[in-house]
Structure 1
Amino acid sequence: MALRRIAALLVQVLVILAVTAALDLAGGLACSGRCDFVDNTEHRKKYRIRHPVYHHALAPDVTVMARWGNTTYPLSTNSLGFRDAAPRTVPKAPPAGWTRLLLLGDSFTEGQGVPWPDTLAGRLTRALAPRHETVLNGAVSSYATAIYLAKMRYLLEVEKLAVDRVVLLMDISDPLNDAGWYETTADGRVVDRDSPAVEESLPQRLGQWYKRTSLIARLVVRLRDNLHYAGLKAEYEARADHDGAPFDLALVEEKTTGIRDAVWTYDDEAWAAYGQKGRAIAKANLDQLKALLDARGIPFTLVVYPWPDQIFHDPQAPRQTDFWRAWAAANGTRFVNLFPLFTDGLSPEKALATYFIPYDVHWNAAGHGLVAKALLDALDSPSLDWEKPFSAVRK
C-alpha cells in the first residue's frame, strides 16, 4: 500500500513537472524577442551567433533590447548581420552615384551600450550622406585581426559586396585575442585556438537552447545579473565623493585599468607573455588584408585609440602607435592616431568622466561623437598620417 501511494505521488509530481516544463517552454517561445523582463546574459546568444568562416557575428535582420552592464539599449541588424538603424536588405553595391565606406573593429566600433544614432557608425552615416556615401558597420564585439581578415575576404569573395574604402579601428585587445583566442585554419576559417574541430554535442546544444528558451531559467539568470549590477552600483555610490560628484577617479582606475587585454603596451611581463606574439600575428594578418584590398583598388585606413589603461599609464603607447605608424607608412596606408585625442590636454579624470561609460572601458555617446569628428577630419585630410590633440579637434 505504501509503495502504491509513493508511486502515485511520484506520478503526480512527474505530471506537475512535465506540465510546468511545457508551460515554461511555451511561455519562453511566445516571449522570444517580445518580453524584455526576461532578457539576460543568455539572451545575447540569440543575436550573437557563431559564423562558420569568421568565428562569430551578429544575427541578420533582428531588433532586440541588448544589455551592456546595467544599461539596455536597442540593437538592430541588417541583412548582412551588421549593426544598423533598422533591419533592411543591403544591396551588393551602393546606389548609382554613391560610394560605400566599411567600418571594421570590435565592441568599441560596434557601439556596445550606445543607441545607434549616437554611435560612430550612426554619426558617420548622417555626416557622409550629403556626400552620397553610405556607411556599413562590420564591427562586432571580441573581433581581432584574424577575424577582420577572414570577414573582409568573405564579404568580397563570397558575398560579392562592393566597397569603396575600408576603415579599421584596431583595438588594444587585438594582440591578446589573436595570440590566445583565435587561430586560422588552412582553408581560412577562424576558430577557437586549440580546439579547431570541436563542435558542441547534441546534449550541449539542447542545454543551451533550454537556457535561452525557458522562462524560469531566464528569470533566474536575470535575477543573478540584477544582483550583480546592483552590487556594483552600491559600490560606486558608496565610493562617490561626499559632495555628490558622480565620479570617483580612484574607483575608475581600479575598475578600468590593469586589465589583461590592455596592459601589454607598458607591462613587460604581458608583452613577453602574449603582446609581442599577438602583435606579430596582427601584422601578418594586416599584411594579407592590405594585399586583399590593394588587389581591388580599395583604399585602407588604420585607426588606433587608447583604453583607460593607456590614458592612465601609457599615453603615447609606442608599442602600439609607433609600430603601426611605421607599418602604415611602409604600406601606403592612411594612419589615424587617436591617442592624443584622449591624452593630450585632457586629464585622465576629464577624459574618462566625459567620454567613457562610467566605470567601463568603452566610449559613451560623447566619446563616439568625439571619435566621429576626428575621423571625419582625418578622412578629409590630404595627409596619410593624422594625429591631433583634443583641443584641435574640439574647435
Structure 2
Amino acid sequence: MGRDVSRERSARAVLLIGGFLVAVVISELLLRIFGLGYGGVHMVSSDVLHHVHPPDYRFVSYHRSREHGGHVVYYDEAGRRAHPDQSAVDLTGYEGAVAVMGDSFVEALQVAHEDSFVGRLQTAANGHTPVQNYGTSSYGPALYLLQWRHQIRQQRPSYIFLMLFGNDVRNDAEMTAIAQVDSCGEIVAVSGAEQTWFARVARSTYLARLVRKVQLQLVWAWEHWGEETGESFLDFLEENPDITDLTDGYLQQLVRETREVGTQLVLLAVPSKEDTLRRAARTTRRAFHDKVRVWAEQHRVPFVDLATPFLVAAEAGARLFFPRDIHFTEEGHRVVADVLLSAYPKVFTGE
C-alpha cells in the first residue's frame, strides 16, 4: 500500500514537472514567433572596452515606468545600434563617412531607430554618406578613446560627432580605477566582469526577459503608487561636474589621435533638462554643456551648441525630454538632428 502511494506521488511529480517544462517551451516558442523578446539594455563583457553590445542582436525595448518602449532595437554585426533591417556598413573608403559617439543619449533606446537623431541623419544622408551609431550606454571619454582605437580608427571616418554628458566625469574615474595601463601610464584596456551562466541564459531566453520586464514594472508601480504624473527631476540625477584633469587628458588624447589620421572631431553636449524646463535654473548655475563649450574653444575643437535650440524649442511648447526619464523624446532627437543638418549640410546631404 505504501509503495503504491509513493509511486502515485512520484508519477504526479513527474507529470507536474513535465507539464511545467512543456508550458515553458511552448511559451518560449510563442514569444519567439511573435517577436516578443523584451529587453532594457543589453551588454556583454569586453576585455578591452569593459562592456559592448552583442552583435546581430535584437529585442523589444521597454521602460519600467512605461513612458516609452514597444519598438525593436537592433545591434548590427558590429554591435552598433542600427535599423532592424540594416546590415553593417564598413566606413572604410567612403569620403565624408560619419561616426557618432556617445553614451545612452546617442544609443537612444528610448525611441525607434528612425526617430533617433542618428537615424534622422541617416535618412537625410540618403546614401550620400554612411552614418554609423557607436553610442553605448555608460561610456565616457576613457572608453571613447579605447573605442576609437579598437572600433573606429581603422575605418578612418571623415567626421566624428561626440556627444558628452555630465556623468562622463564620474565614469572616467570609475573606469580608470580598474583600467590596465602600459609602462608609460597610458590606458590600454578596461576589462569587464565575466558574466555568469545565469545572466547569459537570461539574456537569450525570451520568457526570462518577459518575467524580468513584468517584475521591474510592478516594482516601479508599487514604489511610485499615488504619485502625480508630470515632469520629474528625481528619477535620474543630472550631474554637473567640472571637467577634471583625468577627463581632460582623455579628451586631449582623442583630439590628437583623430587629427593624426585626418578625422575631424566635433563635440556636442547634452543640454540640461532642468535648465531647459526651469527658467530659474538658467541663471543660477553653469551647466555641463557650457563647460564643454569652453573646453572646446580652449582646445580649438568644433562645438555644436544644443542648449540654445533646446531653449527655443521648449519655449515653443516642444516636449524634448521624457517626464521621468532624463533622455530625449522624439522631439528632442528631431531638434538635435535639425541642428546638425543646419551646421553641417555638406557632410550629410552634400548641399
* TM-score after normalising by structure 1: 0.72
Instruction: For residue 125 of structure 1, give the secondary structure of its aligned residue in structure 2.
Output: helix
**Structure 1: which 5+ runs fail to align?**
193-197, 241-247, 266-274, 382-395
Q: Distance in 1 between matches of 2:215 and 2:235?
A: 26
In structure 1, the partner of 2:136 is 140
Q: Is the 8 A contact 2:107 2:133 kept in 1?
A: yes
Instruction: Please tell me whether the aligned partners of residues 91 and 157 of structure 2 are also in contact (alpha carbons under 8 angstroms).
Output: no
User: Alpha-carbon deviation of 1:62?
Assistant: 3.1
* 8 Å CA contact retained: 1:51, 1:57: yes
% same residue? 22
Structure 1 stretches (4+) deviating beyond 6 angstroms?
none
* Aligned equivalent of 2:215: 224
- For residue 208 of structure 1, the aligned residue among 199, 214, 228 is 199
Q: Deviations over 1:284-319 (max 9, x none)?
A: 211111111011011110101223234336437536
Number of equivalent positions = 333
C-alpha deviations, 1:263-282, integer Å up to 9, x for none?
4x2xxxxxxxxx35x74332
Match of 1:189 in 2: 189
Which residue of 66, 71, 75 maps to 1:77? 75
Matches within 5 A, 1:215-294: 217-228=208-219, 235=226, 239=228, 248=230, 252=231, 255-257=232-234, 259-260=236-237, 262-263=238-239, 265=240, 275-276=241-242, 279-294=244-259
CA contact (8 A) 2:163 2:268 kept: yes
**Cross-structure match for 1:103:** 100
- Residue 176 (structure 1) aligned with residue 170 (structure 2): yes
Q: Indicate conservation of the 8 Å contact 2:161/2:267, yes or no.
A: yes
Quote the residue 1:271 is aligned against: none
Matched, 1:318 2:286: yes
Cα distance between partner residues in 2 of 1:94 and 1:63: 28
Q: Distance in 2 between matches of 1:223 and 1:5?
A: 42
In structure 2, do the counterparts of structure 1 residues 168 and 290 end up closer, same or farther at CA, with 3 Å as the change threshold?
same
Q: How does 1:1-395 map to 2 (within 5 A)?
A: 2=2, 4=3, 8=7, 11-12=10-11, 15-16=14-15, 18-20=17-19, 22-23=21-22, 26-27=25-26, 30=29, 33-37=32-36, 39-40=37-38, 43-44=39-40, 47-69=42-64, 70=66, 71-85=69-83, 86-95=85-94, 98-129=95-126, 132-156=128-152, 160-180=154-174, 183-186=178-181, 188-191=188-191, 198-200=193-195, 204-205=196-197, 207-212=198-203, 217-228=208-219, 235=226, 239=228, 248=230, 252=231, 255-257=232-234, 259-260=236-237, 262-263=238-239, 265=240, 275-276=241-242, 279-311=244-276, 312=278, 314-315=281-282, 318=286, 320-343=288-311, 346-347=314-315, 354-379=319-344
| Distance in 2 of aligned mates of 1:181 and 1:115 | 30
Q: Is the 8 A contact 2:236 2:325 kept in 1?
A: no
Runs of 5+ in structure 2 lacking a partner? Answer: 183-187, 347-351
Aligned to 1:386: none
Secondary structure at the counterpart of residue 303 of structure 1: strand
Distance change in 2, residues 1:221/1:341 (3 Å): same
Highest RCO, 1 vs 2 (Cα 8 Å, sep ≥ 6) = 2
Bigger drift between 4-13 and 98-107 goes to 4-13
Partner of 1:390: none
Q: How far apart, CA to CA, are the structure 2 residues paired with 1:151 and 1:58?
A: 12
> Over aligned residue pairs, what C-alpha RMSD do you find?
3.3
Given that residues 145 and 178 in structure 1 are in contact (C-alpha distance below 8 angstroms), is that contact kept between their aligned partners in structure 2? yes
The separation in 1 between residues aligned to 2:24 and 2:246, in whole angstroms, is: 45
Q: Is contact 2:156-2:261 (8 Å) kept? A: no
**Mapped partners of 1:54, 1:61: distance in 2:** 18
